[in-house]
Amino acid sequence: KSLATDMKPGSVKFLVLMLLILLVCSVYVLQYLGLDVEPAIALLISAIAAGYIFYLSLQKRSYFFYYFFVDGLMLFSALATYIAGI
């Protein structure tokens, strides 16, 4: 079981939207507290990519999509943040 299978589709959409808004707000607060511009941009790009991938996942997709794009998004976010910190 997972959270996504236990919740209704409308609740999952609402939860994802609220978490993305929270992420964007957190980035702005962190930047106000001294976060450099490059990591902030990397986090915002990752948030936009996550929102777009979630939008694409609302339609029936193949396993290829989930293995490479959804799971790959975790690597993309970590890599973007690491490169921005160099």
Nearest-angstrom CA–CA distance, 35 and 51: 23
pLDDT for res 50: 93
Number of Cβ within a 10 Å radius of residue 12 = 16
pLDDT for res 42: 94
pLDDT in tens, 1-52: 788 789 999 999 999 999 999 999 999 999 999 989 999 999 999 999 999 9
Residue 56 has pLDDT above 90, yes or no: yes
pLDDT for res 4: 78
List Cα–Cα distances, 60 to 15, 33, 51, 54, 68, in angstroms: 20, 41, 17, 12, 15
